[in-house]
Amino acid sequence: MGYSNLPREVLISAQNLTLAYGSNVVFDGISFEIERGGLIGLVGPNGGGKTTLLRAILGALKPRGGRIARHGAEVRFGYVPQRRHLDPIWPLRVIDVVVMGTYASLPVGGRIGSTQMASANDALDAVGIEHLAEKRYADLSGGQQQRTLVARALAARPNFLVLDEPTQGMDLTSSTGILELISRLHEQNITILIASHRLNTIANYVETIALVYDGSIHIGPRDDLLTGENLSSLYGIPVEVIHGDGDRIVVFGG
Amino acid sequence: MLDTLTLFAGSVGGSLIVAVGCAVVGVFLVLRRIVFVGAALAQLSSAGIALAILLQSYGLSVMFFTDPLILSFLITLAGTSYFGVLAASDELPPDAGLGVVFVVAGALAVLFLARSAQADIYDLFFGGDVLLIPDEQLLILAAVILPVVLLYYLFSKEFLFISYDDQMAATLGYSVKGWNVALFATFAIVITFSIRTVGVLLAFAYLVLPPLIGIFAGSRLDRVFIGAITSAVVGTLAGFVLSVYWDLPTGPVVIATMGAILAIVWGSTRLTRRS
């Protein structure tokens, strides 16, 4: 996954990877590579295994078989979970949530100091919501919450940002704002992997598409993979890709 | 009022230590939506006490392991390890695991007592007389529960992180299972000693009511803890005084007092939001 003008450098490689929860095998013997500097869209239906794959890449899920390896210089992950994963009952301000991204820089039992607060404020500034620092996270709109979580991931100073359904439940304006923010972060040489079940939402923002479907993964440059023929073959239904103004619209059942 | 509190100074002191300990761990129980863990651990603790009583009634004594407090703690600790692993596992619905422990431990406690000749079921579930806390137990409570409260201060960010977002915590290298087991071990310690001191009903009330009051009253986590501790202390002191004044059982009066505080705070919060 990942194509750019820079020399090809593999960041993550998976070989013959098997991922499972109990007796439920989600992936069986898949292999792929993620290159440094890529902007990759991981697309598939709900329940298709996108989050499972993300968790394995992040090291939060141990493979049942095969291996997943990090290469080259240090990989520093920033992770943006699905918003619904975070319980709104917790009485946390935006700054409280963002500063969690700095916890890895602290020893066990270490207290949050001015360095961590400065990093958190810088991250809030980077995503344009520094004015919301004292607001309660649960009271924010979906787009503001998503920016908060991106800020938290940035506070960890990552070189690889992983986002799980970053536009879920958002209106068009908020979705576009988040995806443009992600594009700007990619321009700062951060490798980005976005998981989404909405192909049309991210198709025009990513360089590479990884289609997850029925326990398999198909990866390629966006323009090579997003053809009506490929998608029809993959999903088993008629699919048409319409081009216009440099953008693509995928029409299922067309 | 002061006369009442002075007369029962030891009992008031013991109850306050229990109140503060339960209020602190209860905040995490409520915010993680695992209040039922508290109930299940209370049942496990009761089963441990009942087993110790049963063993003693048959003359079976294995060093200090058959002391009701020790055996209860060990069994509750084993249960918390199970819950800690369960919370970080994707293989079992956590509430199902809790349900199993709750009913099985409850049944075992009754069965153990039915076979022993030294105690009855009433003593087990409502035992722990608030007004008769001996001085030595006061010291034990202080030595055990107050360090747990200190642990919550020292490891607040770790407990918060693995509770609020275990996926992000795992991504940043936190041992979610390990911290969960540590957190649940603190539940075991506080619940075991609290039940032995003030009984199941009051201990469970301390675990739930003050944290809820703190959540309704506080907009930030630190203020939630302050609200929980304050309401637990106020509820205990007021409950003692009112129970003497009205000549009513102390434990239920303390619970009713905290319930009244909860109703007032909840009502005030609703009114404030509307206006």
* Contact status of B258 with chain A (Cβ, < 8 Å): no
Is the CB of residue A82 less than 8 Å from the CB of residue A196? no
Measured between beta carbons, the chain A residues lying within 8 angstroms of B31 are 87, 89-90
Q: Is the pTM of this model over 0.80?
A: yes
ipTM above 0.90, yes or no: no
Is B105 a member of any domain?
Answer: yes
* Contact status of B158 with chain A (Cβ, < 8 Å): yes
Contact (CB<8Å) A22/B161: no
Domain that holds residue B205: 2-269
DSSP string, chain A: ----SSPP-EEEEEEEEEEEETTEEEEEEEEEEEETT-EEEEE--TTSSHHHHHHHHHTSS--SEEEEEE-SSPP-EEEE--GGGS-TTS--BHHHHHHGGGGGGS-TTPPP-HHHHHHHHHHHHHTT-GGGTTSBGGGS-HHHHHHHHHHHHHHT--SEEEEESTTTT--HHHHHHHHHHHHHHHHTT-EEEEEES-HHHHTTT-SEEEEEETTEEEEEEHHHH--HHHHHHHHSS-EEEEEETTEEEEEET-
Measured between beta carbons, the chain B residues lying within 8 angstroms of A108 are 155, 158
Average pLDDT, chain B: 86
* Contact status of B226 with chain A (Cβ, < 8 Å): no
What is the CATH classification number for the domain harbouring B92? 1.10.3470.10
Contact map slice: B 3-62 vs A, CB within 8 A = 31, 33
Contact (CB<8Å) B161/A93: no
- Condensed to tens digits (0 to 9), the pLDDT of residues B144-188 reads 999 999 999 999 999 999 999 998 898 888 999 889 889 988 998
Q: Which residues of chain A have pLDDT under 70?
A: 1-7, 72-73, 254
- Condensed to tens digits (0 to 9), the pLDDT of residues B198-252 reads 888 899 899 999 999 999 998 899 999 999 999 999 999 999 999 989 989 899 9
Contact (CB<8Å) A86/B91: no
Count how many domains chain B has: 1
Is B274 a member of any domain?
Answer: no
pLDDT band at B86, cuts 50/70/90?
Answer: low
How distant is the Cα of B198 from the closest Cα of chain A, in angstroms?
29
Give the count of Cβ contacts less than 8 A between chain A and B. Answer: 72
How distant is the Cα of A213 from the closest Cα of chain B, in angstroms?
22
Q: Is the dihedral of CA B155, B180, A60, A89 positive or negative?
A: negative
pLDDT at res. B266: 94
